[in-house]
Amino acid sequence: MYEDIEKVLFDEEDISRAADDMASCINNDYRGCRPVIIGVLKGSFIFLADLVRRLEIDFMVDFIKASSYGGNTESSGKVKITSDISVDIRGRDVIIVEDILDTGYTLSYITEYLKGFSPHSVKICTLFDKPGRRTVPIKPDYAGIVIDDMFIVGYGLDYNEKYRGMPYVGVPKTQSNKTKE
Ligand code: 5GP
Ligand code: MG
């Protein structure tokens, strides 16, 4: 089915281990709290589902959708919220859950946007982190797997809306017309 994948980088076991580690940190850090977990659509939906099933704390789930526009294959730096949160986060502990932190434009924009609602705290949890690509100085509080500068797909991450359901993560054979969402 996924014959156009050049290389598998992380299999289900690798991803599961990363999710275990991140969930156990969150379980420790938020003991007795009820954080609002905000998934960044669409890429984070599979990771979020796996992460919350490992949590032993009480929590709420919400989503936000953002897209960077103006560029083609690279992030333009202009981010727009295209679907807003629906939970009142004033005074709450917020954990933003993202698939991958790349230039940092999207997450820094979303973080500042959410801070405008006066939450008690905002932390970032990302499954993948590409620190070498960072343009905006932003660091994740929880990062699962650090990778080099490469375009990956699978486990929620797409290439023209393809590969989101692939249970492992790999590099597609062609990388033109990447979508960033
Ligand atoms: P940033 O604003 O940090 O540059 O970009 C973040 C968004 O770009 C991510 O949420 C993700 O949707 C997309 N993105 C960045 N790197 C990759 C990648 O390697 N593969 C895929 N499929 N999407 C990526
Ligand atoms: Mg994303």
Tell me, yes or no, whether 105 lies in a domain: yes
Given this model, what pLDDT does residue 67 score? 86
Given this model, what pLDDT does residue 144 score? 98
Q: Using CA atoms in the order 139, 23, 19, 41, what is the torsion angle rounded to 10 degrees?
A: -60
Given this model, what pLDDT does residue 174 score? 73
Say whether 84 is catalytic.
no
**Whether the Cβ atoms of residue 172 and residue 151 lie closer than 8 Å to each other:** yes
Say how many domains are in the chain: 1
Question: For residue 41, what is the domain's CATH number?
Answer: 3.40.50.2020
Going from the Cα of 181 to the center of ligand 2, the distance in angstroms, rounded, reads 5
Tell me, yes or no, whether 103 lies in a domain: yes
Give the residue, out of 157, 164, 175, with the most ligand 1 atoms within 8 A of its beta carbon, to mutate for a pocket test.
Answer: 157
Given this model, what pLDDT does residue 68 score? 78
Q: Range of 65's domain?
A: 5-173
Given this model, what pLDDT does residue 95 score? 98
The predicted model scores a pTM of 0.93
Sheet holding 93-101, edge to edge: 78-83, 60-69, 36-41, 93-101, 121-129, 142-146
Host H or E run for residue 26 = helix 12-29
Tell me, yes or no, whether 157 lies in a domain: yes
Backbone phi, psi, residue 138, to 5°: -140, 135
Tell me, yes or no, whether 180 lies in a domain: no
DSSP 74: S
Given this model, what pLDDT does residue 74 score? 60
Given this model, what pLDDT does residue 177 score? 39
Tell me, yes or no, whether 88 lies in a domain: yes
Task: Give, for all 181 residues of the chain, the pLDDT tens digit.
Answer: 577 999 999 999 999 999 999 999 999 999 999 999 999 999 999 999 999 999 999 999 999 999 876 545 566 678 999 999 999 999 999 999 999 999 999 999 999 999 999 999 999 999 999 999 999 999 999 999 999 999 999 999 999 999 999 999 999 997 543 445 5
Going from the Cα of 175 to the center of ligand 1, the distance in angstroms, rounded, reads 13
Q: Which residue has the tokens 């709450």?
A: 92
Tell me, yes or no, whether 133 lies in a domain: yes
Which of ligand 1's atoms lies nearest the C-alpha of 109? 2
Is 151's C-beta closer than 6 angstroms to any atom of ligand 1?
yes
**Whether the Cβ atoms of residue 135 and residue 103 lie closer than 8 Å to each other:** yes
Among candidate residues 50, 93, 99, 102, the one labeled active-site is 102
Tell me, yes or no, whether 178 lies in a domain: no
Tell me, yes or no, whether 19 lies in a domain: yes
